[in-house]
Amino acid sequence: MSTTAKAPATVRMRTWSGDNVLKIYAFIAFVYLLLPVAYTFVFSFNDAGRTNLVWRGFTLDNWRNPCGAPQVCESVVNSVVLAAGVTVVATILGAMIAFALVRHQFRGRSTTNLTIFLPMATPEVVLGSSLLALFLNVFVPLGFWTVFIAHVMFCISFVVVTVKARVASLDARLEQAAMDLYASEREAFRRITLPLVMPGIAAAALLAFSLSFDDFIITNFNSGQFTTFPKFVYVASTRGIPAQANVIASAMFFIALALVLISQIRSMRRKEV
């Protein structure tokens, strides 16, 4: 049914608008998503006074001296160290639970599921305040360890969900094939199961890290004098956030973006081979 005449104008316009309305809409949505990011980045170059609210002039000073403002770098380091520790513990605990859930039968499955997934549905205010009440009742001093405990608590559920999906999609026959080929259970796990589940575990670890780093509400309740980056920014927002905070945030944004893009491009290229 080939024709050399073009389709009538009304049809062409309808197809054009049908195709492109959606794309235009999506473009606007992306602008909306990235607007605050762009704003933060731009204002990191602001020759700000104490408040960084009004544009005063372009400067690279903030980038040259990101730790210039008090507490900025300290809070970032705190957040990174905290998130790293939380990631390790939550990933291990959560991965173990995920394996148990997928690979084994046991009683009390529904209760277990409830305990694991309820934290995800509980408002952070409630999670944070209830844990604080516990710490107060037991006279535990607030600080790094209390935040650590709180973060691990709410990260475990997310780790379980992420790893569980990956373990469930693993073909059990691969382990059988390994054992058929003289690998003991331990070797089969180490050489076959673990490498294949690793992407899921890595994703879970990444998720735990981001959740911990970015958390504010639960941290606010349970950290005492220990300052994380989000807490620092929140407190500073009343009197004026130093531009250095924008620098750090922008730097983190670009690093994270770069890492994700690199891994995406690498996996795209690997698929083409």
- Chain residues 144-183 in contact with another protein, contact rule CB under 8 A: 149-150, 152-153, 156, 160-161, 171, 173-174, 176-183
Specify whether the CB–CB gap between 52 and 68 falls below 8 A. no
Which residue's CB is nearer to another protein, number 67 or number 252? 252
For residue 7, state whether it binds another protein (rule: CB under 8 A).
no
Angle at 125 between CA 120 and CA 130, to 5 degrees: 90
For residue 129, state whether it binds another protein (rule: CB under 8 A).
yes
Among 11, 16, 194, 266, binds another protein (CB under 8 A): 194
Among 78, 83, 94, 163, binds another protein (CB under 8 A): 94
Among 47, 59, 84, 119, binds another protein (CB under 8 A): 119
For 253, counting Cβ atoms within 10 Å of its Cβ (0-12 exposed, 13-18 middle, 19+ buried), the class is middle
Specify whether the CB–CB gap between 160 and 116 falls below 8 A. yes
Among 7, 11, 13, 53, binds another protein (CB under 8 A): 53
Nearest distance from residue 260's CB to another protein, in Å? 5
For residue 195, state whether it binds another protein (rule: CB under 8 A).
yes
Burial state string for 210-222 with b = 16 or more CB within 10 A and e = fewer than 16: ebbbebebbbbbb
Nearest distance from residue 64's CB to another protein, in Å? 20
**CB neighbours of 60 closer than 8 A, spacing ≥ 6?**
45
